[in-house]
Structure 1
């Protein structure tokens, strides 16, 4: 890993301030500018000392922790920083921050100062609760001495500057370090000559409501109610982003105080334009018996809907509450528009993969798509409009999503260009050529809309071979109009058979359709796509193939050591139908202790194939199987690591014979392979050789599956 210069953090801070005082100069108040000017008057070491403190999570800083080798004369510079207000004494308004910064013994000291009884066995959380309930500011006297503890000053400016730079309240200066270390990829080459806002009142307003929205959930109920009562005096939100943060703030605060003050909660929710807030108001009003108001409101929404989300809710709620319809749209879709498939229970942890294999065994094309396909289609089709047409699309190199996507006004800003793009998509083949060209030119570029993956082009090729072009254009148009609500919730898999292309949302027993999934499915159907809801039932498939695997290695860590041998026993219907075995040249020395254990030495593997030479045949042999091993994560982890070294992914459903044997035959003194084979009288030709161990683990699998079948049959009889 790269090493950063000793004062890297100061270089980053100057880069940060250059953006704030340059392109964002018009967004700064007199006080903001004065703070920047004051910082620049500090000498380098004093600047370093302040920026070091900025990188702390807590604004409460113990003075003796501000000593760094690269900074000279700490005390002198610290006194200057205190005089200039960069650090201050801990005051009453800092009490909550101070409390959370104290250790458990220090909290105990505060409780003793306040004569509050407590037990040493109580948790720190209990101590905090007692301190918050019974202790006064004076009880913290031992921790208020400025020669011991300081409070970081000027955070109101820094937090606002971070908001201007990153566009959110969750980012901090550590991103610069991660960029320089190569940990965080950024949009290199993005110009930083643009600001996120045109006017200071928009920037300040967005920052204010973003802060209020974040703080709501950290408040106690009585504090939330007090905040709600103050809301009428809050400034009117200015600009798109401020209004969005205000709406979400009201949604969050209104929901939080409903149990404590229903009337006030409803009032706040009604002031929010968020569809979920409007939905909550209608539900609460219905509970209060205001049915005529609710009916009128629902009919108004249906006549002039503000969003598809609210329209979908209104139609469903009106039908169920006022038209004697007993079930929701979600329930209807599951009951009337779904199919059922039987999948082996080994796929419980990867149900979509199990259904995909189910179709592939029927010689149908099936792909995992979910949100990946539609996000990729949106990003690739509109790449130019999203990232290249407007110099303001990305403000800094740390941005991934364009501002128009973050503010959900992409279509409003670029309607003519979007419609021109869609007009030129005269056929699916032409669209695929355009998309393929973008992929070749932009592959791997971070974009915040979708993730690149090597199989994407294959999936897109199949999709465009069967898609209705007009339906595709209509759906992309809807995504452009409301990306916030149509960026997720897409069906799990895409299937192509002799009936054409369809999408399927997979639901295992107990799973429910979520509202965003319902909304997206309805929109896809509206655009002409076939969408099914496929419900899975588990069973024990005797024809399910298992690949029982064992490996030998040069050591115990997959990221450091290498495979020396692989043995596989393929099992179908309770029988070993085939075996596969090979030594592998690990390209490194095999330790003596490993040779003593396995009998495999450097000479034995010197002429053996490298992993890269057997990778494809191994993948082919494992295809469609459940990966089984004794302590499965060991064997699976090593094979996955070998594929990752080749920059290939490796993913299979897994079964661990240790875990399953514990469930099937509980209470044995040991579940090691050697002890289990001894207990069950399983013959082993050579322990710690891959194929011998794999064949022994296969015998354990037979026992496990016999118990599983007995339990399954017992459950059916009881049912």
Structure 2
């Protein structure tokens, strides 16, 4: 066991680490309640601190005292006394029937409400009509010596967690997983001024977006939600990116619900990648073909991405036809070689990709199932220092698996010189040494590009021997041009001929399967850059 976990109070030390980090970096953002909590918490006896942290790190906010048993804490009833005095824990909170059932065993339900067939959920549904209102655990179970602790600090603890991580999807388990070595992070020098939130209003705005999304995902009516949707741009770039993404997703929902005018407005406001094409499609559905064509023409003059250009190639001829305009000659497309195979259907769970792999694999021409992992990994290894550069706003806590601005439009621009230096190594043999050195030095560290589980030394050696540097450079530049879209869609298989220092990529399609848009874009790119690629269509032999 790692030394950090030898101490039974490891979780308490982790919580103190979080509080110290926040006190050092976010002291000016803390409100009075948060400052008071940190000061009062540090003044508590260790057992009380530990009990509180145990509850904070567990699921929910209601805990039966009899179930809080931790050897390192000792008597948890005694440890709870200071928490009760501070009002952080309430032992007399009223519970409704649903909350009570969540704390009881089926036997206790039978003892309290009479034995009846069915699961707890069924019993609860049957009893709701008979028992209503809220009452304390002691009122429900007057003869019991047990009690229920209601934790009233989760809003404060969630805000502190948000300040530390910059999000609410990471939680306390990050510390333990890192201590156990399950997750290993690159050590980036994080300046004390580095933080995700610049001012208190940023924190409040994040929570506003988060709560709006929670209500939306819970199914609250759109007529109640839409007037509260933040539509004005925010000065903090990464918070504004969250806002724009939310508007785009709500626009998609409105489009699916046939609320086309609302969808059109949201797409127009959000400025999110893909929103312009969605506006064109909605205008089509509204029979506003002239407006749709004008917007499509504008987009075609300066496409925001290859993905948008791909959509426009399909949309513009359709709009021309609807408007009675003359056809334009179709754009030429590079041809990709096709393979047609008829194979015996493999037993489950062998996939069609692995069936093709076995068909083509030879000792002197090995085939690997790599999909998106190989080229991304090679890119990540070569450009490791640029990706993990400690730029302002990129890293603000120790548990980043990549920079916070990875998918921001200016990610590459902010690091142009760094990436140029990395890619310049491909103009000589330096890249071979650099990739191998990073592969050895950074083994197992989390990266948004490197797939350690799919990249062993044998595959790395074959790839570096057979993939020309010029083709690697072209692929890496394409990944950098649109990280979100171009990290995926790569062919499934790669076959090497090490003795001849050559290779081919193979995209596999099973019966009834078709090429996806991102795959088509990669195939087109490969054909344009003389990267050997083939599409293998498989049919199963009749048995």
Out of 298, 306, 313, the position equivalent to 2:311 is 313
2:484 match: 484
TM-fit CA distance, 1:386: 1.7
Counterpart of 1:297? 295
Q: What is the Cα deviation at residue 76 of structure 1?
A: 5.6
Tell me, in whole angstroms, the C-alpha distance in 1 between the residues paired with 2:488 and 2:38: 42
Q: Provide the residue aligned with 2:505 in structure 1.
A: 503
Q: Which has the larger displacement, 450-459 or 57-66? A: 450-459
Shift of 1:57: 0.8
Q: Structure 1, residues 326-359: CA drift from partner, whole Å, max 9, x if none?
A: xxxxxx9999864312223126623222222322
* 1:245 aligned onto 2:242: yes
Instruction: Tell me, in whole angstroms, the C-alpha distance in 2 between the residues paired with 1:403 and 1:537.
Output: 44
- TM-score normalised according to structure 1 size: 0.62
Q: What displacement does 1:461 show?
A: 4.3
1:400 maps to 401
Partner of 2:329: none
Structure 2: gaps of 5 or more residues: 141-145, 326-331
Q: Which residue of 2 aligns with 1:204?
A: 203
Closer/same/farther in 2, CA of residues 48 and 103 from structure 1, 3 Å limit? same
Question: Contact 1:163–1:207 at 8 Å: present in 2 too?
Answer: no
Distance in 2 (CA, whole Å) between partners of 1:337 and 1:90 is 73
| Aligned pairs (5 A) from 1:141-156 | 141=135, 148-156=147-155
Instruction: Say if 1:439 and 1:10 are closer, same or farther in 2 by CA, change over 3 A.
Output: closer
Counterpart contact for 1:26–1:199, Cα < 8 Å: no
Q: CA separation in 2, counterparts of 1:389 and 1:488? A: 26
Distance 1:417 1:193, change over 3 A: closer
Tell me the secondary structure at the aligned position of residue 489 of structure 2: coil
Q: How does 1:42-191 map to 2 (within 5 A)?
A: 42-66=44-68, 68-71=70-73, 74-75=76-77, 77-88=79-90, 98=99, 101=102, 124=121, 139-141=133-135, 148-180=147-179, 182-187=180-185, 190-191=188-189
Deviation at 1:313, TM superposition (A): 2.0
Contact 1:412 1:481 in 2 (8 A): no
Q: Quick check: 2:394–2:405 contact (8 Å CA) kept in 1?
A: yes
Asked if the contact 1:489–1:517 (Cα under 8 Å) also holds between the matched residues in 2, the reply is yes
What is the CA distance between 1:440 and its match in structure 2? 3.5
Indicate the residue corresponding to 1:599 in structure 2.
Answer: none
TM-score (norm 2): 0.80
**Equivalent-residue separation in structure 2 for 1:217 and 1:130 (angstroms):** 30
Residue 8 (structure 1) aligns with: 10
Q: Which residue of 2 aligns with 1:696?
A: none
Displacement of 1:58 after TM fit? 0.7
1:210 touches 1:242 (CA, 8 Å); kept in 2?
no
Distance 1:384 1:308 in 2: 27
2: CA distance between counterparts of 1:415 and 1:372?
24
Distance in 2, Cα, partners of 1:369 & 1:304: 34
Aligned residues of 2:267 and 2:278 also touching (Cα < 8 A) = yes
Does the 8 A contact of 1:190 with 1:396 survive in 2?
Answer: no
After superposition, the C-alpha distances for 1:454-480 in whole angstroms (9 at most, x for unaligned) are 864444444445545444323312322
Mapped partners of 1:379, 1:275: distance in 2: 24
Q: Structure 2 CA distance, aligned partners of 1:260 and 1:97?
A: 36
- Answer with 21-30 or 97-106: which moved more: 97-106
Q: Following TM superposition, by how much is the alpha carbon of 1:219 offset from its aligned partner in structure 2, in angstroms?
A: 1.0
2:449 maps to what in 1?
Answer: 449
**Alignment partner of 2:248: what SS?**
helix
User: Is the Cα contact below 8 Å between 1:509 and 1:535 reproduced in 2?
Assistant: yes
Secondary structure class of the residue paired with 1:179: helix
CA drift at 1:201: 4.9
Question: Over the residues paired in the alignment, what is the CA RMSD in angstroms?
Answer: 4.2
Q: Secondary structure in 2 aligned to 1:533? A: strand
Q: CA deviation at 1:410?
A: 2.7
Per-residue CA deviation, residues 622-648 of structure 1 (Å, 9 max, x unaligned), is xxxxxxxxxxxxxxxxxxxxxxxxxxx
**Inter-CA distance 260–390: structure 2 relative to 1 (3 Å threshold):** closer
Spell out the pairing of 1:397-476 with structure 2 (5 A cutoff): 397-405=398-406, 407=408, 409-427=410-428, 429-452=429-452, 456-476=456-476
Query: Cα distance, 1:192 vs. partner?
Result: 5.4
Q: CA deviation at 1:278?
A: 4.2
Q: Please give the alpha-carbon distance, in whole angstroms, between the structure 1 residues aligned to 2:108 and 2:307.
A: 48
Where structure 1 has 5 or more consecutive residues not aligned to the other structure, the ranges are: 113-118, 326-331, 540-711, 714-719
Offset at residue 491 of structure 1 (A): 0.8
- List per-residue Cα deviations over 1:286-316 (Å, max 9, x = no partner): 2222222222222222212223332322222
- 2:333 and 2:347 mapped to 1: Cα distance? 24
Q: Which has the higher contact order (CA 8 A, sep 6+)?
A: 2
Q: 1:178 to 1:459 in 2, by over 3 A?
A: closer
Instruction: Tell me which residue corresponds to 1:369.
Output: 370
CA apart distance, 1:22: 1.5
Counterparts of residues 329-344 of structure 1 (less than 5 Å): 338-344=338-344
- For 2:390 and 2:71, how far apart are their aligned partners in 1? 48
**1:8, distance to aligned residue in structure 2 (A):** 2.6
Q: Note closer, same or farther for the CA distance 1:27–1:130 as it changes in structure 2 (3 Å cut).
A: farther
Label 1:210 to 1:88 Cα distance change in 2 as closer, same or farther (>3 A). Answer: farther
Equivalences, count:
519
Cα 1:318–1:105 shift into 2, 3 Å: farther
Report the CA distance between 1:373 and its aligned residue.
1.0
